[in-house]
Structure 1
Amino acid sequence: MERRLAAVLIADVVGYSRLSEIDEEGTRTRFQSDLRQAFEPMIARHHGRLVKTMGDGVLAEFHSVVDALHCAVDVQRDLADRHVDAEPELRLDFRIGINLGDIIVEGDDIQGDGVNIADRIQRLATPGGIAISGTVYDQVKSRVAVGYVSLGSQKVRNIAEPIRVYRVVLDPAAAGKTVHARQGLRSWRLAAAVVAVIALPLAAAAYWWPPWTIFEAAAPATRFAYPIPDKPSVAVLPFINVGGDAEQDHLAEGLTDDLITELSKVSGLFVIARHSVFAIQDTATKIQDVAEELGVHYVLEGSLQRAGMRLRINVKLIDAFSGLSLWAERYDRQYADLFAVQDDVIGKIISALSVKLSDGERNRLARIPTESLEAYDYYLRAEQEGTSFNDVATSRETLSYYQKAIDIDPDFADAHAGIARVAVDIWRNDYNFLWSGAVARKIAYDAAGQALKIDPNNARAQTVLALLQLVDGRPQAALESANRAVAAQPSDAEAYANLALILAHTGSREQAIAEIEKAMRLDPAAPPSFQLLAGIVYYKAGDDSRAVLLMEAARDALPNAEPAREFLTAAYIHLGDEARARQEAAKLLELFPNSNLTYYGYLYDYWREEDRNRHIEALRAAGIPQWPFGFEGADADRVVGDDLRNLIKNTSWVGTHKNGTEFIQYFDSQGNTAYRSANTNITGIVEIEGDDRLCEQFAGYFLDRMVCGYVYRNTTGDDGPPGDYVRISSQALTYFSVKPNPTQ
């Protein structure tokens, strides 16, 4: 391992994800063109080395910081010339950061603090601009014909000590001059284009306000990733826990969540979803970035410190167009006053933005979630665990926190709705690791019902209820519940997404697309699970091209998610891309070898018949088998009639599953059955349909559905699996022999 001092240059595309959603292939083509025509020749001309590209980024190293800065300046000027006629919403704008520091060389790659700091500095550059560290500035300040704006010492993520940062001003009139951000516009008389990159006065209060409170003059509207809504639009940034006690992180996150939730209940506001504001905290370094990337006019930021029973909260509402504070407040109160502080903050925001409340909204905002701060604390801890319940430990801990909150306050509606949300997620995704699907479904129904009994306007509970009603074959009731969820929380992305899903299932395709677009606008940096849901909505609505873009992103982030593989397989077939469909189907069968068309037919029995048939036939065309493990039995070997009836009359089956699990299954003469294996002990009923279909139903399994299949004689011989018979159903392939039950 080699260490050395080097000048590191990192460039990154502003808003690349948003551009890719608009035109993925075109965006990638434009990036590759800029790489070949601007970066590669300029890096070579200035004696640098292109280390690698990183998705939408470029990493290069130079022996000389002067060469590195010359390269960056030439690249940005060249790109500006190349893109002068480009459509603003499709143009690629790069931020470039340069640092001089220690790097670690591993083969052709480099890493270490020198690289990490360059990356953090790059995020402080303006779109189309350059930022450099103090170590670079000290070497180049009089040697390159550019000007500089000092941002002072900046605290950046995962770097212990603050870093001096300078922005580079490319206009020749600024050459050789350095001003400080606090000097603002007084120092230079530059052209308007240059003025736009000089920082406005920076308010003192550094201890309380995070580094993204560095303001600039408002960028042109074309810089915004999305059109600004026609109603006041707000992003609530994650509150900063400045007390240093990690135990209070959940309180800071909880305050953020609650403000988002409460503001989302106001129909006169447009409020960005939780996931997007938490996701952007790692990339946005100033209020302008937040506003541009999320497409909002106003940003709320704040900090929190708890010391014993004292609570100090600072809040500021900023107009991102002007960089000016519309309202700011400092609260120094008892912890017991937390809800009163929240109410005051919400009221002041609504007042500052001149939003009128309906009587219903006023009543909903006046309702406090619980009288118990202890119960509220447990609820916040549950919420902090996040919304991904794909492992036993996380699910158990989340549920235990919700339950502790309910034990303290049984009338805590949000805690009941939280349990419903966990349960429906386990049920909907068929995790089957904590409860069976049917048990999870019942818990979701019960918890959602209890939440709505306490608070009929609980949007999360209404959303859960809508999903359950849809799968139960009650589409009209599901639609009513989904619409009630949206009405209760008009800026809730999840409520809109589930309404879109139900509309797609009921055939209202254009309306479904309109609603999912609302959901994605509210959550522009959506998590993979949300992207998958949106992709399924587009798929069900018949827009396979847009569905594929979203589901590919979800698949790449969640490579073991069965629905992503399944729906992508079918969508590729609909688009005529059989090669990619078969590739995806092969991966689906590799990950889930018991995938089969019969199972999907049962699973989607609540779909409209034409939609279900379209989906199944697409999967069939891609190579998904009719039965698990590709089993195909000969008609001559199928057991039918009295021979089949005798197999389930006072008998026991002893055998193994395809996966090697041993089992024994008992049948009496009244149509009852009991199944036993090392980890399963269930009872159910059995019957014969027609003359040859064996059907079973086990309480609490596969949504309590009757599952049917066939029995064949095992003709594989001594080289095949042991047993006289083969049982095939949508969920299992077993080999067994039969023996009579002992007589009483």
Structure 2
Amino acid sequence: MHTENLTILFVDIAGFTATTNRQSRRQNASLLQNFESLLKPQIKKFSGQLVKSIGDALLLTFRSPTDAMLCACRMQDRLALHHQQHPDEQPIVIRIAAHLGEVRTARHDIFGEAVNLASRIEAVTPPGEIYLSEAVFLAMNKTEVQVTEVGLFQLEGFSHALHLYQVCHCAPPALPFGSHSADLLPVSQPALQRGAFVATALLLCAGLSWWFWPQQEFQPNLPAQLAPAKAARYVAVDAPALDEVAFSAEQQFGLVNAVHQAIEQVPGYYPADQQTAPQAAERIRLQVSTAVYPRPNTVTVHFQKAGVAGLTLEWHADQTEALLQKVSQSVVRQLGGQPETAQPQRQLDPAIFQLWLKAEYQLSTARQKNELAAVQTVLQLLDQDGAALEQYRPAQRSKCSAGTLLFQLSQQPAALEQIHAACQALTGPTATAADWLVYGQYQSVRGEFNSAEQALQQAIALRPGSATAYTELARLYQAANLPLEAERVYQQAVLMQPDHWYALQALAVFQLERGYLDSAVANFKKVIALLPQSANALTNLGSAYLLQGQIQAAADTYQAALELSAEASTQANLATIYYYLGRMPDAIRLYQQALLQLPDKFELHGNIADAYRQSGASADASRHYAQALQLLSRQLRLDPRELALQAHYLSHSDLQQASSVMANALTQDSKNAEIWLLDAMLQVRLGQPAAGMTSVRQALQYGFPAKLLAVEPDLATLSTKTEFQKLINPTTGR
């Protein structure tokens, strides 16, 4: 249990008991479902934490009192807007009370006098109002929320009278607390059917999303706040192309990898990759020469940082392990650091070491491409001489990392069982920061969040300047559905290394997923300033623009990304933009280019089929719909989104079967914006515009961007209706 100062909000439905006495149980359940589904997106937008939901009441906490009051205004206005849009439904009227004070937190609950006082303020708050204590009034930004004093109140259980304030109302026809209607619509990132590749490459080298929720109680233990470290400096390794006969690809990889790992040991330095190399502040020149004297195929390695004495080694394949250790120690010293003290280990048999080096090289390639078969090959290599490699910690680290990646790609629990012993071997008093980082990632995908947090904290303790370790810890909190903690640690990583692109991009992705689109755009722009030649960073920015509804800005950004690299994901994204803009020939051209790279991507076949259909090329459309359906049929199981896409593809040949499949998808997941959009399209094809409007309303409620709905060609027959226009722009027609 620990204490901290938080702003507490109590939210409850006024007159709930009287209302429920007049309703059936189904109506009661529907009212409560509307209550939570309408308010939770607003809480999310302002980084609020839902402590608990008690029937008709919510208990929330915020770190910022201003955010708490802005959220309170948005919640009141969201319900008012819903009532305007659905005048026939029972209106939901809430009261909100706020107080700021010290609370004790334990087991996902909060306790203390501040909580009791907030509850007492809620008891005197009139329906439809927002009351706040003097503590909140003094701490908040009063230019953002206008308040007025209500008076002195003697609250039950408190000996002295307290000053209370209320948030001012706005004059009609505005919403009661002045929110813009567009701001009240959910903006969390949906999966866009036509943009199946939107934001697909959000994190370079960051692995995949975590798959499991925690299996045990998880109380985060945040790292202490740090003062800003010096800005990250990237070190590029300039290595020429080498003759693989004299110096194998595995040995070349081992050499460069040893230099990279050495760079990471020095606080403030990071190894440059292809994207950061042009802007690197330091460069290490790696020279490898071959000769026939004194023996055939003699390899000499020389590497040096400008202005510092270098190191020259004669390379012998049977001494690779010892030579790489010398390389690592020399690089650390050249950068002004102190080599980490490693636990002495028995030198491996040279053949065994070469086997591990080959596996590590192939793992690096497999990680970049996310190739399932390649990862399986790596694990087979590491099992060839298991007894010897079990005693070699780097090999155990490789096996743990490979198995974790295999699980992320295959979702097969057996992959984690296979590597359990290897991962456990990474722990203990001799473990390095790299060991703890890999072990933390393994525990994360297992859902053992307490163990994962401890491991990542150990990595941070051993390498305090590692923005990468902080970023992985933040991703852990994000996976554990602890957005406040995740945001704090992401911010801490960026504070430590303001121009560390990996941390910045991870923060921007988090903000995109949370619906903080303006902040995400700002941080993606910072990443691009650091990596001006990164097509991936531009693709991410384009995705953020698309979710904002800035279609032209998204198109321009995707085009800039394509000029740097013709990635299939970027081609598909830009094709989607052209589809929405009605430029079907351009959309088809780009979808065709993407299919050359990803011929087995069923979404691409479905997307190009839609574009052909809109162009009147029905034969081509039918052919690609058939291919999409065939690819889907190869999957052992379809998730709800895939079922909805299957129904969409079927709807152009068999409406009855499409209706049955879509009903199944909605039964499995009734809160997916994309599924509701696809159902709206199906209802239009069935000649059911009223049902189509209902599905459009649901798609909006669950987060589909209104501006994209407005330009969806398959909803053209609905877009002319006044009701549709009011949904897309609620201020229209008043």
TM over 0.5: no
The structure whose residues are more often helix, as a share, is 2
The structure whose residues are more often strand, as a share, is 1
Q: What is the TM-score normalised by the length of structure 2?
A: 0.32
Q: Which is greater in Rg?
A: 1
